[in-house]
Amino acid sequence: MPFDALMTAGIETTLNTLIKDNPDLVRRLARLKGQVIQVHLKEVNKTMTFVFSQQVDVLAHYEGKPDCYLSINLSVLPELCEQSNITHLIKQDKVVLEGDIQLAQKFAQLMTDCKPDIEEWLSRVTGDVIAHSLVSGAKQLAGQVKQCAQSQRHHMAQVVTEEWQLAPSSLEIAHFCDQVDEAKSAAARVESRINQLLEKL
């Protein structure tokens, strides 16, 4: 199977599974029925066509004219949900949009909200209690890893500033800034005194 077909099949299966699991997404899919949106992903230089019916069909090749064409980076997709952002993104060359703006917004919102409920999926295999315990444990572990990383960054900053003295500490920077302010004030006083003496002369 060619890579493009494999990629679109994977995206199509994932999207339809996520939509089917969420009644709100099913209702939003129904509003898009009969529409065709073509999306060019700049990161990978690939164009995919999304055809909306009872489900989402994702095509690597499409001969017809889409109702809406988007050329975007994936990172920009959530920003398209707000209409006020679209003009701004177009001016910044982050988005190329041809066709129905409202359709682009609905598509962006649908794609942004297609997030897996891992706890729900696990509960089908393991039961509610075990699924909840696993997801809670994973979140707690992620929090500990994040806290450990922050601690390591803080420790490294102390080593760089205090032990290796490769960079000044925050206190040294504050003291230097105070000295600069004092020097400015002293210079201003001297300048004022000189001006006064010149006026007398």
**17-70 pLDDT, tens digit each:** 888 888 888 888 888 999 999 988 887 888 889 999 989 999 988 888 999 998
Q: Which CATH class is domain 3-116?
A: alpha beta
Show me where the domains of the chain are located: 3-116, 119-200
Distance of CA 107 to the CA centre of its chain: 17
**119-143 pLDDT, tens digit each:** 565 555 666 666 556 556 666 766 7
pLDDT number for residue 201: 64
| Phi/psi of residue 35, nearest 5 degrees | -95, 155
Query: Where do we find the tokens 């490769």?
Result: 166
pTM confidence score? 0.56
Q: Residue 167: is it exposed, middle or buried by C-beta count within 10 angstroms (0-12/13-18/19+)? A: exposed
